[in-house]
Structures are given as C-alpha cells and as structure tokens.
Amino acid sequence: MVTGAAGFVGRLLVQELSRHLPPGGRILACSRTVSRNGLPACADAVAFDMADAAGIEDAVRRTMPTHIVHLAGISTLAEVAAQPDLAWQVNLFGSLRLAEALARHRPGGHFVFVGSSEVYGRSFQGGVALDEEALLQPTNLYACTKAAADQTLGQMASDALKIVRVRPFNHIGPGQAERFALSAFAAQIARIEHGLQPPVIRVGNLESQRDFLDVRDVVDAYRMIVERAGRLPNGIVLNIASGVPRRIRDGLEGLLQLADTPIEVAVDERHMRPSDTPLVLGDAGRARTLLGWEPVHRWEDTLKDILEHWRHQMPPK
C-alpha cells in the first residue's frame, strides 16, 4: 500500500515498485479519490481520506497490506498555517490510525513512515551534516506535526508492527509543483522561452545551501526499504540525503545555462525569507550501510529533466 499515490513522489514510487514486484504481487495506490490514471496494471486504486478514521480502518481491513509506505500528508507551510487542526489530524493522528489499523488487521506488517528532514530544525544551525541521532528541534508547525508522528511511531514499534522511519532531505525532479524554488525557476524559464513572460526571473535569497536529491533516487531508497524491511531493526530511522550542500543559486545558474534565450535575474525583497536556515545538510551513512543505497542521478541531468518537463507543459509556439 502506498498512500499519497497521486502525489509527486507517490506516482513515481508506484511505478518503481511495479518494476520490482514479485510474481502475483499487487500495489494498492491510495489517494482521496479513485483514479487509475497512470497506474500500472499491477496496481489497484484505493480511496480514503487521512482525516477519516473510519475510512482508514475500512481500507486496511479490506486490503490487509503486508507493507504500507505512508507518504500522504499536508505538506506545505501555507496549507498547514491555514488549517492547523486538519494538519494535526492528517499528519499525526491519521498516521497513527493507519499504523494501528495495520497492527490489528495484519499483525507483523511493515509500516514505512516518510517523515521530513525539517524535523531537525534548529539543529541545522550547528553547520554540519546531521545524522539520525541529531536532536529534533522543529521550527514550524508542519515540522512539529511530522516530528510528533515520527517520535510516536517509534514508540509503537512491536512484534505486531514493524516500523521504519525515513527522513528525506530536499528532493527535486521533473513533475514537482511550481511552489518549490528550482521547479519555479524552470517553469519561468520555459515561459520566457515561449514568449509568455518578460525575460526576468525575480528571486529571493539564493545563498541558502540545501541537500538536494533527485526524486528518482529517493523512491529508489524507499523501494529498497520495502524489500529489506524484514531485515532492518524495528523502529529504525534512516536519513535519505546526498551529503552534498548546494546553493539555491547553483540550481538557478545551472538552469539558466540550459536556457535558449538571455534572462535577467532580479532580487525581489518580497521573496526574501529572513529566518531562512543557511545550511541544511544530511548524513545518510546509515542508509548506505544497511540498504546499499547511493544517489546515482547527476545534478546536471536532474536540472535538465526539470526544465524539459516544464518545456513540455508549454503551448506550441
């Protein structure tokens, strides 16, 4: 079972799992509405809402999955700020209900909770790559909901419930929403190339450093976790990170080098975030050791693929 299967990461994970599924295996692609759009033949569409306790219980009781990869959640700061009660219901209580339902209806089932590197928060101020032992010090409400679920699920690990907690760092790639910086830059470049926008990109702070990963490397790690879930220590935490810091500016400059027309970059104070964390960097040594996982996509290729995605979204010239 994959929750959030209609999202940016979920769609790719369903496809990745389908390529490695054992004979007779099925994938349960879960989202709020039933749709087979883009699903492989080995996947079944399942609908329920993470805020609906009865719906969660019924879905798990009917399908009895052996593994759940839990991606669904309210993930943007704006959405969380607008509906904080719903964010707690979905990100914390929905996650706990899903895990509890698995323990009841498929004792010994494997629950992979996809959290966020944002749970480390203020710990990034130390200016070093953080491993899984770093203190959780979330600095926004979204990160608080994810940290609460992460910690509570860690306490729920038992004979009836096998849990892996994953803390992925910044993942990017083709198909990501425009609200994310590098995808927004690429979308603007594509519009400029097509004459749909003046040749200026307005930016905020470009000096922040982030641990960027290609989303395809991230879903590769999730697939490896599913395959090795029975051999991983119960309750374990795994960072998924490149360990390479890159400035936002590096991403923008890489995309501009791929543009087929000159583009001006203008700093806009409205885009500045004074509380921005200067460095976000992870240590994924544990995942490398236990999974044999390594990111394989080149930075330059990821940027090219993001831009090509947005070019294909543009109307014909």
Tens-place pLDDT, residues 196-242: 999 999 998 899 999 999 999 999 999 999 999 999 999 999 999 99
Tens-place pLDDT, residues 268-299: 877 666 557 899 999 999 999 999 999 999 99
Q: 33 vs 117, which has greater pLDDT?
A: 117
* Residue 157, SS3 per DSSP: coil
Residue-level pLDDT at 274: 56
Residue-level pLDDT at 164: 98
pTM for this entry: 0.95
Yes or no: say if 166 and 115 are a contact pair by the CB < 8 Å rule: yes
In this structure, of 106-120, 155-169, 264-278, 288-302, the range with the lowest mean pLDDT score is: 264-278
Residue-level pLDDT at 269: 74
Residue-level pLDDT at 272: 62
Q: How many C-beta atoms surround the C-beta of residue 201 within 10 A?
A: 21
Residue-level pLDDT at 36: 83
Count Cβ neighbours within 10 Å for each residue of 127-142 and write b for 16 or more, e otherwise. eebbebebebebbebb
121 residue type, one letter: G
Mean pLDDT taken over the chain = 95
Q: Which of 210, 201, 171 has its CA nearest to residue 271?
A: 201
Tens-place pLDDT, residues 59-72: 999 999 999 999 99
Residue-level pLDDT at 37: 84
Residue-level pLDDT at 34: 77
- Percent of the chain exceeding pLDDT 70 equals 98
List the domains of the chain with CATH numbers: 2-172+212-240 (3.40.50.720), 181-209+246-280+298-313 (3.90.25.10)
Count Cβ neighbours within 10 Å for each residue of 240-275 and write b for 16 or more, e otherwise. bbbbebbebebbbebbbeebeeebeeeeeeeeeeee
Tens-place pLDDT, residues 84-110: 999 999 999 999 999 999 999 999 999
- Alpha carbon separation from 46 to 1, 70, 82, 113 (Å, rounded): 9, 14, 27, 19
